[in-house]
Amino acid sequence: MKVICLAAAACLALAACSSPTARNQQTADSTQTATDKNASLRKTIDSIVTQTDGKVGVAILHLGSRDTLTLNDTAHFPMQSTFKFPIAMAVLKQVDEGKLKLDQEVPIGKNWMATKYHSPLRDSLAKVKAAGKPTIATMLSYMVSLSDNVACDVLLELIGGEPVANDFIHGLGVNNIAIVASEIKMGKAWDVQFTNWCQPSAYTQLLDILDKGTALSKASNDFLLKIMFETTTGPGRIRGLLPKELQVAHKTGTSGVNPDGLAAATNDVGIIVLPSGQKLAIAVFVSLSHADEATREKVIAQITKAAYDHALSTGN
Protein backbone atom coordinates (compact mmCIF):
# COMPACT_ATOMS: atom_id res chain seq x y z
CA MET A 1 0.00 0.00 0.00
CA LYS A 2 1.26 3.45 -0.85
CA VAL A 3 1.30 5.58 2.32
CA ILE A 4 2.07 9.29 2.23
CA CYS A 5 1.38 11.56 5.18
CA LEU A 6 -0.26 14.95 4.91
CA ALA A 7 3.07 16.68 5.50
CA ALA A 8 4.69 14.70 2.71
CA ALA A 9 1.73 15.22 0.43
CA ALA A 10 1.88 18.95 0.95
CA CYS A 11 5.54 18.96 0.03
CA LEU A 12 4.84 16.84 -3.02
CA ALA A 13 2.09 19.18 -4.11
CA LEU A 14 4.53 22.04 -3.87
CA ALA A 15 7.07 20.05 -5.87
CA ALA A 16 4.59 19.17 -8.57
CA CYS A 17 3.60 22.73 -9.32
CA SER A 18 7.00 24.12 -10.24
CA SER A 19 10.36 23.40 -11.79
CA PRO A 20 13.45 22.41 -9.75
CA THR A 21 14.77 25.94 -10.13
CA ALA A 22 11.53 27.51 -8.91
CA ARG A 23 11.29 25.17 -5.93
CA ASN A 24 14.77 26.02 -4.78
CA GLN A 25 15.10 29.63 -5.82
CA GLN A 26 15.91 32.31 -3.27
CA THR A 27 12.71 33.13 -1.38
CA ALA A 28 11.74 35.51 1.37
CA ASP A 29 12.81 32.96 3.97
CA SER A 30 16.36 32.79 2.63
CA THR A 31 18.71 34.99 4.59
CA GLN A 32 22.09 36.40 3.77
CA THR A 33 24.55 38.53 5.66
CA ALA A 34 27.44 40.41 4.09
CA THR A 35 25.29 40.49 0.95
CA ASP A 36 27.90 41.50 -1.61
CA LYS A 37 30.39 39.00 -0.26
CA ASN A 38 27.93 36.08 -0.44
CA ALA A 39 26.19 36.87 -3.73
CA SER A 40 28.49 34.68 -5.80
CA LEU A 41 28.08 31.76 -3.40
CA ARG A 42 24.31 32.04 -3.52
CA LYS A 43 24.39 32.06 -7.32
CA THR A 44 26.53 28.92 -7.34
CA ILE A 45 24.20 27.12 -4.91
CA ASP A 46 21.15 28.16 -6.91
CA SER A 47 22.74 26.49 -9.93
CA ILE A 48 23.74 23.31 -8.06
CA VAL A 49 20.27 22.59 -6.69
CA THR A 50 18.75 22.40 -10.18
CA GLN A 51 20.27 18.92 -10.49
CA THR A 52 17.52 17.47 -8.30
CA ASP A 53 13.76 17.60 -8.65
CA GLY A 54 13.44 17.72 -4.87
CA LYS A 55 13.57 20.54 -2.38
CA VAL A 56 16.99 21.47 -1.01
CA GLY A 57 17.52 23.17 2.32
CA VAL A 58 20.84 24.79 3.18
CA ALA A 59 22.28 26.60 6.16
CA ILE A 60 25.88 27.80 6.26
CA LEU A 61 27.39 29.61 9.23
CA HIS A 62 31.01 30.73 9.51
CA LEU A 63 31.69 30.20 13.20
CA GLY A 64 34.23 33.01 13.30
CA SER A 65 32.91 35.83 11.13
CA ARG A 66 29.26 34.77 11.69
CA ASP A 67 28.55 35.17 7.95
CA THR A 68 25.34 33.26 7.24
CA LEU A 69 23.56 31.97 4.17
CA THR A 70 20.39 29.89 4.07
CA LEU A 71 18.10 28.45 1.42
CA ASN A 72 14.53 27.30 2.05
CA ASP A 73 15.00 27.79 5.77
CA THR A 74 11.31 27.95 6.69
CA ALA A 75 10.58 24.54 5.18
CA HIS A 76 10.38 21.46 7.41
CA PHE A 77 12.87 18.81 6.28
CA PRO A 78 12.75 15.19 7.49
CA MET A 79 15.89 14.68 9.57
CA GLN A 80 16.30 10.91 9.41
CA SER A 81 19.53 9.94 11.25
CA THR A 82 20.89 13.46 11.57
CA PHE A 83 18.71 13.52 14.71
CA LYS A 84 21.22 11.17 16.36
CA PHE A 85 23.47 14.22 16.87
CA PRO A 86 20.97 16.09 19.10
CA ILE A 87 20.00 12.81 20.77
CA ALA A 88 23.67 12.26 21.62
CA MET A 89 23.75 15.73 23.17
CA ALA A 90 20.73 14.82 25.32
CA VAL A 91 22.37 11.58 26.47
CA LEU A 92 25.61 13.33 27.34
CA LYS A 93 23.71 15.98 29.28
CA GLN A 94 22.42 13.22 31.55
CA VAL A 95 25.99 11.96 31.90
CA ASP A 96 27.00 15.45 33.02
CA GLU A 97 24.13 15.48 35.51
CA GLY A 98 25.24 12.17 37.01
CA LYS A 99 22.13 10.30 35.88
CA LEU A 100 24.20 8.12 33.53
CA LYS A 101 27.86 7.14 33.20
CA LEU A 102 29.83 6.62 30.00
CA ASP A 103 31.21 3.32 31.35
CA GLN A 104 27.73 2.15 32.39
CA GLU A 105 26.78 -1.16 30.76
CA VAL A 106 23.34 -1.41 29.16
CA PRO A 107 21.80 -4.79 28.29
CA ILE A 108 20.77 -5.30 24.68
CA GLY A 109 17.81 -7.65 25.00
CA LYS A 110 16.44 -10.22 22.58
CA ASN A 111 13.83 -7.76 21.35
CA TRP A 112 16.57 -5.49 20.00
CA MET A 113 18.53 -8.42 18.59
CA ALA A 114 15.45 -9.38 16.54
CA THR A 115 15.21 -6.03 14.74
CA LYS A 116 15.96 -5.83 11.01
CA TYR A 117 17.02 -2.22 10.61
CA HIS A 118 20.58 -0.94 10.24
CA SER A 119 22.66 -1.88 13.29
CA PRO A 120 26.35 -2.80 13.16
CA LEU A 121 26.15 -3.15 16.95
CA ARG A 122 23.45 -5.83 16.76
CA ASP A 123 25.33 -7.56 13.95
CA SER A 124 28.55 -7.65 15.98
CA LEU A 125 26.71 -9.16 18.95
CA ALA A 126 24.97 -11.67 16.71
CA LYS A 127 28.33 -12.99 15.53
CA VAL A 128 29.09 -14.17 19.04
CA LYS A 129 25.50 -15.45 19.39
CA ALA A 130 24.83 -13.59 22.61
CA ALA A 131 23.02 -10.57 23.89
CA GLY A 132 25.55 -8.04 25.09
CA LYS A 133 26.02 -5.25 27.56
CA PRO A 134 27.86 -2.48 25.70
CA THR A 135 28.69 0.69 27.58
CA ILE A 136 26.92 3.97 26.93
CA ALA A 137 30.16 5.28 25.43
CA THR A 138 30.26 2.37 22.99
CA MET A 139 26.64 2.85 22.00
CA LEU A 140 27.13 6.59 21.47
CA SER A 141 30.04 5.83 19.20
CA TYR A 142 28.02 3.30 17.21
CA MET A 143 25.03 5.65 17.04
CA VAL A 144 26.94 8.68 15.76
CA SER A 145 29.97 7.32 13.89
CA LEU A 146 28.17 4.35 12.29
CA SER A 147 24.55 5.63 12.47
CA ASP A 148 23.45 2.57 14.43
CA ASN A 149 19.68 2.39 14.87
CA VAL A 150 19.54 -0.09 17.76
CA ALA A 151 22.04 1.98 19.74
CA CYS A 152 19.96 5.08 19.02
CA ASP A 153 16.69 3.59 20.22
CA VAL A 154 18.20 1.96 23.30
CA LEU A 155 19.80 5.26 24.34
CA LEU A 156 16.63 7.20 23.56
CA GLU A 157 14.65 4.83 25.77
CA LEU A 158 17.29 5.09 28.49
CA ILE A 159 17.02 8.89 28.79
CA GLY A 160 13.22 8.85 28.91
CA GLY A 161 12.17 8.93 25.27
CA GLU A 162 11.75 11.41 22.46
CA PRO A 163 10.10 14.18 24.56
CA VAL A 164 13.16 14.35 26.82
CA ALA A 165 15.53 14.82 23.90
CA ASN A 166 13.17 17.27 22.22
CA ASP A 167 12.73 19.37 25.37
CA PHE A 168 16.47 19.45 26.03
CA ILE A 169 17.22 20.79 22.55
CA HIS A 170 14.43 23.37 22.78
CA GLY A 171 15.84 24.39 26.15
CA LEU A 172 19.05 25.36 24.37
CA GLY A 173 17.06 27.88 22.34
CA VAL A 174 16.96 25.71 19.23
CA ASN A 175 13.23 25.61 18.55
CA ASN A 176 12.86 24.83 14.86
CA ILE A 177 13.32 21.10 15.30
CA ALA A 178 11.04 18.25 16.37
CA ILE A 179 12.25 14.91 17.74
CA VAL A 180 9.07 12.84 17.84
CA ALA A 181 9.71 9.31 16.58
CA SER A 182 12.44 6.75 17.28
CA GLU A 183 14.12 4.77 14.50
CA ILE A 184 11.88 1.77 15.05
CA LYS A 185 8.79 4.00 14.84
CA MET A 186 10.03 5.61 11.64
CA GLY A 187 10.48 2.15 10.16
CA LYS A 188 6.83 1.21 10.66
CA ALA A 189 5.34 3.58 8.07
CA TRP A 190 6.61 5.95 5.38
CA ASP A 191 4.83 8.99 6.77
CA VAL A 192 6.30 8.78 10.29
CA GLN A 193 9.70 10.10 9.21
CA PHE A 194 8.13 13.46 8.41
CA THR A 195 7.20 13.98 12.07
CA ASN A 196 10.93 14.30 12.84
CA TRP A 197 11.64 17.61 11.14
CA CYS A 198 13.93 20.60 11.28
CA GLN A 199 14.65 23.85 9.57
CA PRO A 200 18.26 23.78 8.27
CA SER A 201 19.46 26.63 10.50
CA ALA A 202 18.46 24.62 13.59
CA TYR A 203 21.44 22.42 12.85
CA THR A 204 23.90 25.26 12.35
CA GLN A 205 22.63 26.59 15.70
CA LEU A 206 23.34 23.23 17.32
CA LEU A 207 26.74 22.95 15.66
CA ASP A 208 27.56 26.45 16.90
CA ILE A 209 26.59 25.43 20.44
CA LEU A 210 28.75 22.31 20.12
CA ASP A 211 31.71 24.37 18.90
CA LYS A 212 31.34 26.85 21.76
CA GLY A 213 30.94 24.07 24.30
CA THR A 214 28.15 25.84 26.16
CA ALA A 215 25.64 22.98 26.52
CA LEU A 216 27.84 20.17 27.85
CA SER A 217 30.88 19.68 30.06
CA LYS A 218 34.23 19.87 28.29
CA ALA A 219 34.69 16.11 28.59
CA SER A 220 31.27 15.37 27.07
CA ASN A 221 31.66 18.01 24.38
CA ASP A 222 35.08 16.66 23.40
CA PHE A 223 33.71 13.12 23.30
CA LEU A 224 30.86 14.10 21.00
CA LEU A 225 33.18 15.96 18.65
CA LYS A 226 35.49 12.94 18.61
CA ILE A 227 32.79 10.50 17.51
CA MET A 228 31.52 12.99 14.92
CA PHE A 229 35.03 13.32 13.49
CA GLU A 230 35.07 9.51 13.32
CA THR A 231 31.85 9.30 11.25
CA THR A 232 32.25 6.88 8.35
CA THR A 233 28.80 7.16 6.75
CA GLY A 234 28.15 9.36 3.71
CA PRO A 235 31.74 9.84 2.48
CA GLY A 236 30.39 11.33 -0.75
CA ARG A 237 28.41 14.10 0.94
CA ILE A 238 30.03 16.87 3.02
CA ARG A 239 33.40 15.15 2.73
CA GLY A 240 32.96 14.24 -0.92
CA LEU A 241 34.87 17.05 -2.69
CA LEU A 242 36.88 18.48 0.19
CA PRO A 243 40.63 17.96 0.57
CA LYS A 244 41.14 14.60 2.27
CA GLU A 245 43.31 16.05 5.03
CA LEU A 246 40.57 18.33 6.37
CA GLN A 247 38.93 17.53 9.68
CA VAL A 248 35.16 17.18 9.36
CA ALA A 249 32.82 16.39 12.26
CA HIS A 250 29.48 15.40 10.78
CA LYS A 251 26.31 13.32 10.96
CA THR A 252 24.38 11.96 8.01
CA GLY A 253 20.74 11.01 7.53
CA THR A 254 19.20 8.87 4.80
CA SER A 255 15.69 7.64 4.09
CA GLY A 256 14.56 4.73 2.04
CA VAL A 257 12.99 5.09 -1.40
CA ASN A 258 9.27 4.51 -1.87
CA PRO A 259 7.70 2.46 -4.72
CA ASP A 260 7.51 5.60 -6.85
CA GLY A 261 11.28 6.08 -6.59
CA LEU A 262 10.96 9.01 -4.20
CA ALA A 263 13.71 9.52 -1.61
CA ALA A 264 12.40 11.49 1.37
CA ALA A 265 15.77 12.52 2.80
CA THR A 266 19.45 12.62 1.90
CA ASN A 267 21.14 14.79 4.50
CA ASP A 268 24.46 15.75 6.06
CA VAL A 269 25.31 18.27 8.77
CA GLY A 270 28.68 19.11 10.23
CA ILE A 271 31.62 21.33 11.09
CA ILE A 272 34.54 21.76 8.70
CA VAL A 273 37.87 22.86 10.16
CA LEU A 274 39.36 25.22 7.58
CA PRO A 275 43.13 25.36 6.88
CA SER A 276 43.28 28.62 8.87
CA GLY A 277 41.82 26.90 11.92
CA GLN A 278 38.53 28.75 11.49
CA LYS A 279 35.40 26.61 11.30
CA LEU A 280 32.44 26.40 8.98
CA ALA A 281 29.12 24.86 10.04
CA ILE A 282 26.98 23.51 7.25
CA ALA A 283 23.69 21.64 6.96
CA VAL A 284 22.30 20.37 3.66
CA PHE A 285 18.99 18.52 3.28
CA VAL A 286 17.85 17.06 -0.05
CA SER A 287 14.20 16.11 0.30
CA LEU A 288 11.51 14.47 -1.83
CA SER A 289 13.75 13.75 -4.78
CA HIS A 290 13.48 11.20 -7.59
CA ALA A 291 17.16 11.69 -8.46
CA ASP A 292 19.42 8.72 -7.82
CA GLU A 293 21.51 8.57 -4.66
CA ALA A 294 24.72 9.53 -6.44
CA THR A 295 23.10 12.74 -7.70
CA ARG A 296 21.61 13.60 -4.32
CA GLU A 297 24.96 13.12 -2.63
CA LYS A 298 26.70 15.11 -5.35
CA VAL A 299 24.41 18.07 -4.64
CA ILE A 300 25.50 18.01 -0.99
CA ALA A 301 29.17 17.65 -1.93
CA GLN A 302 29.06 20.48 -4.47
CA ILE A 303 27.27 22.87 -2.12
CA THR A 304 29.82 22.08 0.59
CA LYS A 305 32.76 22.58 -1.77
CA ALA A 306 31.30 25.89 -2.96
CA ALA A 307 30.96 27.05 0.66
CA TYR A 308 34.50 25.91 1.44
CA ASP A 309 35.99 27.65 -1.60
CA HIS A 310 34.04 30.79 -0.78
CA ALA A 311 35.37 30.79 2.78
CA LEU A 312 38.94 30.53 1.49
CA SER A 313 38.41 33.24 -1.11
CA THR A 314 37.15 35.67 1.56
CA GLY A 315 40.20 35.17 3.74
CA ASN A 316 38.74 32.69 6.20
Catalytic residue list: 81, 183
For residue 157, which of 197, 112, 213, 103 has the smallest C-alpha distance? 112
Neighbour tally for 120: CB within 10 Å: 16
DSSP annotation of 106: -
Question: What whole-number distance in Å separates Cα of residue 249 and Cα of residue 117?
Answer: 24
Question: What whole-number distance in Å separates Cα of residue 50 and Cα of residue 21?
Answer: 5
Q: Which residues contact 310 (CB under 8 A, 6 or more apart)?
A: 38, 40, 41, 44
For residue 112, which of 160, 165, 149, 161 has the smallest C-alpha distance? 149
Alpha carbon of residue 137 to chain centroid: 20
For residue 289, which of 7, 18, 20, 3 has the smallest C-alpha distance? 20
